[in-house]
Amino acid sequence: MLELIIRRTLNVIPICLVVFTIVFCLMRIAPGDPATAMLGDYASAEAVQSLRQEMGLDRPLWSQYLDSLRGLLHGDLGRSLSSGAPVSDQIASALPETLALAASSLAIGLLLGVPLGIVTAVRRGRPVDHAGRLFSLSGLSIPSFVLGILLMLLFAIDVPIFPAIGGGRSGDLSDQLLHLALPSLTLGLIMMAYVTRVMRTSMLNVLQEDYIRTARSKGIGELRVVLRHALPNCLVPLVSLCAINVIVLISSSVMVEIIFSRPGLGRLLISAMRQRDYVSLQSVLVVYAGIVILVNMTADLLYGVVNPRIRSR
């Protein structure tokens, strides 16, 4: 297992490097000069020039690149061009909000989606199957911001059970959870649609296997056949689905954070973009890509756990 972890880690290093290089290049070809952006359009040429010097923007690109990379490896992401605060502090306060949203949505998706997927597979062709398929088609087709607006309209405006916007008072856990409810339900329902569909497909495949027929012929109860014999064999596709969809979740969280005004990474991304704060933007992009790479790596390792045959490869 340790060897696998080391091998996978070595595999992602070149990807991380290329990702960083792409982000660095993107930020350098972006229009507008960071020093001008920071001082405003009416600043004198001398002031801009001296700030450029201070920020190291007058040095050759490769030297800026190496400095940036060195800073990243040391956790120093520079200072925000708009607020002047260290970018690492901004990210440290926004990242937990986004991760809490992603984790709670994933939990809702799995807790509701796995049982629904099993039921629709076992009751194939019955009304519950049709309802389940209609649900997953709808969930796969609805953009997160559309579902978010619907839920906000229903449960924050028409029937005001949950707060519509904000992240909750800091330090007040119950208030924060209350504010997390609608955003995580939005992404959780979409996740549930994906989980239901994959669970149904793989359960239908597994239920046709010989070992299931053998188990049934031994007179084992249907519930036990499904839960003990079929379910563990459905887990490999579920793990890869979760990996893909955590990435979809992270992507959709941007929209959900905007709609519900949650102080997460997505809001940081959009405000950095609007204010042409390229230092923050560069770091947020690297963090997002880092999350995706980490999720993919975890999924690779989880494959080994749920399917021992993959581990030996």
Q: Determine the Cα–Cα distance for residues 141 and 136; give it in Å rounded to an integer.
A: 8
Residues within window 224-263 making contact with other proteins, judged by CB under 8 A: 247-248, 250-252, 254-255, 258-259
First to last CA, the chain: 11
Structure tokens at 184: 């995580």
Least separation in angstroms between CB 111 and other proteins = 23
Least Å distance, CB 260 to other proteins, is 11
- Give me the phi and psi of 79, to 5 degrees please: -110, 145
Six-digit token pair at 42? 């009416």
Q: What is the footprint of other proteins within residues 208-227 (CB under 8 A)? A: none
Site string for other proteins, 124-163 (x = CB under 8 A): ---------x---xx-xxxx-xx--xx-xx---x------
Which string of x and - marks every residue 10-39 that binds other proteins (by CB under 8 A)?
----xx--xx--xx--x--xxx--------
Nearer to other proteins, 14 or 308 (CB): 14
CB atoms within 10 A of CB 103: 13
Report how far residue 131's alpha carbon sits from residue 110's, in angstroms, rounded to the nearest whole number.
Answer: 18
Of 127, 132, 171, 164, whose CA–CA distance to 149 is shortest? Answer: 164
**In the complex, what is the shortest distance from the CB of residue 237 to other proteins, in angstroms, rounded to a whole number?**
12
Shortest Cβ distance from residue 44 to other proteins (Å)?
27
By beta-carbon proximity to other proteins, the closer residue of 184 and 252 is 252
Name residues whose C-beta falls within 8 Å of residue 262's C-beta, 6 or more positions apart in sequence: 97, 101, 166, 167, 179, 183, 256
How many C-beta neighbours within 10 Å does residue 188 have?
Answer: 24
The least distance separating other proteins from the CB of residue 245, rounded to whole angstroms, comes to 11
Task: Please tell me the count of residues contacting other proteins according to CB under 8 A.
Answer: 47
CB 30 within 8 A of CB 77: no
The rounded distance, in Å, linking the Cα atoms of 201 and 140 is: 15
Q: Which of 43, 220, 289, 297 binds other proteins (CB under 8 A)?
A: 289
Q: Which residues bind other proteins (CB under 8 A)?
A: 14-15, 18-19, 22-23, 26, 29-31, 133, 137-138, 140-143, 145-146, 149-150, 152-153, 157, 200-201, 204-205, 247-248, 250-252, 254-255, 258-259, 269-270, 273, 276, 281, 285, 288-289, 292-293
